[in-house]
Chains A and B, each alone.
Chain A
Amino acid sequence: MNPIAVIGRLFLAFLAAAGRIAMFAGVAVSHCLRPPWYPQLIGRQMLDIGYFSLPVVGLTALFTGMVLALQSYTGFARFSAEGAVATVVVLSMTRELGPVIAGLMVAGRIGASMAAEIGTMRVTEQIDALSTLSTNPFKYLVAPRLIAGLTMLPLLVLVADVIGVFGGYLVGVYKLNFNPAAYLKRTFDYLEFMDVMSGLVKAGAFGFLISLMGCFHGYYSEGGAQGVGRATTNAVVSASILILVFNYGITEVFFATR
């Protein structure tokens, strides 16, 4: 087989997929902006994404903050800059690790369950049934999930930031013997509004992407149980990759303004 033809075919398939996702996103967003909205459904999704993800996200944030303090201490001690540990922890958490870790955890938890639920509804004709009952599936299934993802991830990341910084504080004070007051002062001295803000913007984008991938792959799943399984895998993998790609993109934009 001609290798150039293979590359071309892969590239075309990629473009086709990107186009389908973009069109799906366009229709879905237009339904987010137009009434009627279903507050009850949005509320249920918010509860699922925001509240029930707290334990997972909280635990990962805690240990991330802790290990960050430990590792940066090891590094900085080599040129007697131990004092920078608190600053490194808070900047890394708010700008980078809080949103990325929360995003990846929620992608695994929520993206997978969205794709599985919507995919099952597709293969059991429940989505067709929605249409015949004069209910738009985008409005009923997709829009509430996108709205909930977009709004809940920033809140979740805010909590993850606090817990992560607290994890760093625990290690700093009880293991590395920093003075508690000095550690906290160091934490907040160099923290700027834009550090937290850029993290929250990332979080909103990640939440949107997670819901979009979950809904998209579920909506177009076909071929029974196997198809739903494939949709679930694709939703998690594509959401994770997009999170890392967008993470760089958004960082680049904020880096310009610092």
Chain B
Amino acid sequence: MTATPKISIRDLKKAFGPKVVLNGVDLEVGVGESVVIIGGSGTGKSVLLKCILGLLTPDSGSIKIDGQEVIGLPADEREAINRKIGMLFQGAALFDSLSVWENVAFGLVRAQGMSRREAKPIAIRNLAAVGLPPEVADLSPAELSGGMKKRVGLARAIATKPEIIFFDEPTTGLDPIMSDVIDDLIVKCVHELGATALSITHDMASARKIAHRIAMLHAGKIIWSGPVSELDHSGNPYVDQFIHGRAEGPIQMQVSA
């Protein structure tokens, strides 16, 4: 691994009132590496991602992107950091007041000041990269299926050629075949951009496909992390239980909320 990691998280803590969600997370993601964080629902995967994105402010700890501390940055410097970042949201989070191509071109037009005339062909090229025909460009997001929305979301995330891409449950709500298509696209796009990727998911097929390295989040801490090849003999009972989806084991699911 190279000298400075792309993302470096140290002892990150976040609580909502009395409920401690992150209790000292340590994680490093190297340049060009694809790390997938796995963990059950409600273990704080999304909270961790939102802390890195600057959408939530952690209680303590440190998050460094390219060696620069990003917690507590003023808004304009935070925007500069965000320019290096692309994000695929769980529900795609497309702007429904804009057409598909305007969504894809949003970062180019708003953040980079490109003219709409220049941005449209680039948007269509990005749509093609995720396997969508140019006819889709002028549709509104409401007219798309779930899988297509995910693809448009991916096209929007890669349009600004980010150095880091985050994926929030990229395959949730999709059928197994479409999940595999999206996984393939993620692998391809990340590889072509040479980007660093950090994903959260509980879909093990997806995790095995897109990850170089897998980290498991449980009870607010990263309890195991290692290359995909070691996942099946991690020797960690929590990981074993999770990847095999067993109800019995050290992880006790809170059934009654």
Check A125 against B93 for contact (C-beta < 8 Å).
yes
Residues of A within 8 A of B (CB): 117, 121, 124-126, 128-129, 131-136, 140
Identify the interface centre among A124, A132, A140: most chain B CB within 10 Å of its CB: A132
Contact of B95 among A129, A131, A132, A134 (CB under 8 A): A129
Check B91 against A125 for contact (C-beta < 8 Å).
yes
The 9 closest A-B pairs by CB, nearest first: A134-B111, A125-B93, A129-B93, A132-B87, A133-B107, A134-B82, A134-B79, A135-B110, A125-B89
Assuming the contacts A128-B55, A129-B87, asked whether A135 and B93 have C-beta atoms less than 8 A apart, the reply is no
Check B79 against A136 for contact (C-beta < 8 Å).
yes
Closest B residue, CB atoms, query A125: B93
Check B55 against A134 for contact (C-beta < 8 Å).
no
Closest A residue, CB atoms, query B106: A133
Check A124 against B111 for contact (C-beta < 8 Å).
no
Cβ distance A116 to chain B, nearest Cβ, rounded Å:
12
Identify the interface centre among A121, A134, A135: most chain B CB within 10 Å of its CB: A134
Cβ distance A43 to chain B, nearest Cβ, rounded Å:
14
Q: Which residues B51-108 have CB closer than 8 A to chain A?
A: 53-55, 75, 79-80, 82-83, 85-87, 89-91, 93-97, 106-107
Check A131 against B53 for contact (C-beta < 8 Å).
yes
Bound-complex Cα distance A126 to B92 (A) = 9
Check B89 against A134 for contact (C-beta < 8 Å).
no
**Interface of B (DSSP majority class):** mixed
Check B53 against A132 for contact (C-beta < 8 Å).
yes
User: Which residues of chain B come closer than 8 Å to A125, judged between CB atoms?
Assistant: 89-91, 93
User: Which residues of chain A come closer than 8 Å to B55, judged between CB atoms?
Assistant: 128, 131
Check B83 against A134 for contact (C-beta < 8 Å).
yes
A/B interface sample: 24 pairs, CB < 8 A: A117-B97, A121-B95, A124-B91, A124-B93, A125-B93, A126-B93, A128-B87, A129-B94, A129-B95, A131-B54, A131-B82, A132-B82, A132-B166, A133-B82, A133-B107, A133-B156, A133-B160, A134-B79, A134-B82, A135-B110, A135-B111, A136-B75, A136-B79, A140-B110
Check B85 against A132 for contact (C-beta < 8 Å).
yes
Interface check B209, CB cutoff 8 A: no
User: Which residues of chain A come closer than 8 Å to B87, judged between CB atoms?
Assistant: 128-129, 132
Cβ distance B62 to chain A, nearest Cβ, rounded Å:
21
Bound-complex Cα distance A135 to B83 (A) = 10
Per-residue 0/1 for B24-36: is the Cβ within 8 Å of any A Cβ (1 yes, 0 no)? 0000000000000
Cβ distance A130 to chain B, nearest Cβ, rounded Å:
8
Check A128 against B110 for contact (C-beta < 8 Å).
no
Interface check B50, CB cutoff 8 A: yes
Cβ distance A124 to chain B, nearest Cβ, rounded Å:
6
Check B89 against A128 for contact (C-beta < 8 Å).
yes
Bound-complex Cα distance A136 to B79 (A) = 8
User: Which residues of chain B come closer than 8 Å to A133, judged between CB atoms?
Assistant: 82, 106-107, 110-111, 156, 160
Identify the interface centre among A124, A125, A135: most chain B CB within 10 Å of its CB: A125
User: Which residues of chain A come closer than 8 Å to B94, judged between CB atoms?
Assistant: 126, 129
Check B95 against A126 for contact (C-beta < 8 Å).
yes
User: Which residues of chain B come closer than 8 Å to A124, judged between CB atoms?
Assistant: 91, 93
Bound-complex Cα distance A128 to B97 (A) = 16
Bound-complex Cα distance A136 to B83 (A) = 12
Closest A residue, CB atoms, query B80: A134
User: Which residues of chain A come closer than 8 Å to B97, judged between CB atoms?
Assistant: 117
Bound-complex Cα distance A132 to B158 (A) = 12
Identify the interface centre among B54, B94, B110, B160: most chain A CB within 10 Å of its CB: B110
Closest B residue, CB atoms, query A123: B91
Cβ distance B43 to chain A, nearest Cβ, rounded Å:
19
